Amino acid sequence: MKDNLKNNVVLGEDDFRMLKQYAESFTGGAENEMSLSYELNRAIVVENNELPPDSIRLNSYVKVKELMTNKEMEFSIVMPAFADFNQRKISVLTPMGSALIGLCKGETVEWKVPAGMKKFKVLDVVQLQA
């Protein structure tokens, strides 16, 4: 799980507003410790222009490494309607998307994915146009 001292979830106002509305309508407000709703409820919300340039937000292109296997993965985090596995676009509602949203380059996170608990390190973040 995300370490509350090291891995603050920092989101811009626009992403926060959109994700909060979507998460509540999608899940009915239900949350568990490893869900997007949980992450949003503990997020630090800042003005869009105050976001760190290396923070993961919607439409960010990220490169992560799974620390046990050293396997690297690259993809963009998008809203569910724009998810496309063939184009390396994953939904923010997937376990990986929820785990990474709001983190910054260099941070690590332990998160439950379909294959079990995995620990990931954010290697790079590039902001793409929506």
pLDDT tens-digit readout, 51-84: 989 999 999 999 999 999 999 999 999 999 999 9
For 7-43, the pLDDT digits (tens) are: 678 899 999 998 888 877 765 545 555 678 888 888 8
6 has pLDDT over 70: no
**What is the model's pLDDT at position 8?**
76
Q: What is the pLDDT of residue 3?
A: 42
Residue 5 has pLDDT above 90, yes or no: no
User: Helix/strand/coil (H, E, C) string of 7-60?
Assistant: CCCEEEHHHHHHHHHHHHHHHCCCCCCCCHHHHHHCCEEECHHHCCCCECCCCE
CATH number of 10-127: 3.10.50.30
- What pLDDT does residue 129 have? 67
pLDDT at 2: 42
For the chain, domain boundaries: 10-127
Q: How far is CA 87 from the centre of its chain?
A: 18
CA pair distance 126, 104, nearest whole angstrom: 11
pTM, two decimal places: 0.82
